[in-house]
Amino acid sequence: MRALTKLNAGPGLELVERPEPTCGPTDVMIRVLRAGLCGTDLHLQQWDDWAAATVRPPLVIGHEFYGEVVEVGAEVTGVEVGDRASGEGHIVCGRCRNCRAGRRHLCIRTQGIGVNRDGAFADLVVIPASNVWVQPPSLDPDLGAVFDPLGNATHTALQWPMVGEDVVITGAGPIGVMAAAIARHAGARYVVVSDASDYRLGLAHSAGADVTVNVTRESLADAQRQLGMKEGFDIGLEMSGAAPAVTDLIANMNHGGRIALLGLPHQPYELDWGKVITHMITLRGIYGREMYDTWYAMSQMIATSEVFRAAVTQVITHRFPAEQWEQAFATARSGQCGKVVLDWS
C-alpha cells in the first residue's frame, strides 16, 4: 500500500510502498478516503526537538482521517465491513486509574496514532475497534476527516456553559475557527477571535465571530471598546500557544473569568499570576477529546444544524490528492489556509 512515512530520524517524509497492516482480533481495518493535516504532522516532517524525543522511525504518520471499514477482527462487535468511520487518535491502556474511572482522555499511557504507532497517511490503517467512530453514510468525507480537530475545539469550548457569555478565542487556526462556530452555536453573546493572519481571521468571521482582532494592529481591549463591553471577557479559549496572546487574554478577563488552554507553547513563558489570583481566574489545560462525550456532542451539532455544519466545512480550504502531499504540507505551513485535506481515495 501507499504510505507517507518517516523513514529515518531527520527532516523529511517519503511516500513509499509498505506492507498492508494486520488486523488483530479486536481491531478494525479502515481504507482511508480522506486525511487532514495537523500541526503535529508539520513537526514530524520538520523533525524538531519534540519529534526527535517522541518518534521512533520508521513510522507512517497522520491521525486525522475518515474512511471505509474493510475488515473487522473476530472479537469485534458494533462495527461492520462497509461502515464509514472516523477514528479517535488516542489509544488508551484501559488499566490505569483514570481509564478504570471512565476518564479515558486522562490515560497516563496514551499512544498516539501516527506518532507512537503507524498512522493514517496511507491506503489502510488499523485501530482498535473501541477507537472507531461510525459515521452516517451521508456525511461528507472531508468533514469526516476533521472530526479529530473538531473534537479538540469542542472539548475546549464546552468546558463551561456559554449561553449569554462573552467569549474570546486567541488563535485562528482551524481549531480556533471551529471553536468560534461552537461558541456561536452554544449561545455566546459576543465571540471575539484574535490572530496575526487576516486570512484566518476572515474564516473566523465566517464561522460566527462578531469581532476579529489582528494583533499586529490592535488588541483585545480595542475589541471590548468596539462592542461596548465594560467588565472583560467571561470565557477565554487559548488556541495559539503564543505568550503575547496569553498575556493579552489574561489582561482582558473579567473577575472570575475562565480560561481553557489548548495551544501548546513553543517555549516556557511568564504569566501575570497576580492578576490570575486577585481576579480569581480559572486556568484549565485541555488535551485531546473526552472519550466519548466529545464525539457525541460534535456529531449532534453537525447533524442538527446546517449553519454549524457549513461553518465547520468552510474551515477546509485546500484539498490535494495524496501524491501531492509536498504541496499540501507547504500550503499548511504557509498559514494562508484553513484545514488542508489529503484525498487517498
Give catalytic residues, as residue numbers. Answer: 40, 43
Q: 269 — alpha (psi -120 to 50), left (phi > 0) or beta?
A: beta
Count of other CB atoms within 10 angstroms of residue 307: 10
Identity of the amino acid at 210: D
Please state, in angstroms and rounded to a whole number, the distance separating the CA atoms of residues 6 and 43: 12
Please state, in angstroms and rounded to a whole number, the distance separating the CA atoms of residues 160 and 259: 10
Cα separations in angstroms, 263 against 19, 22, 40, 45, 228: 36, 35, 12, 20, 28
Cis peptide before 292 (omega within 30 of 0): yes
CB 5 within 8 A of CB 61: yes
Q: Cα dihedral sign for 71, 76, 80, 84?
A: negative
Q: Closest by alpha carbon to 142, among 30, 35, 32, 39?
A: 35
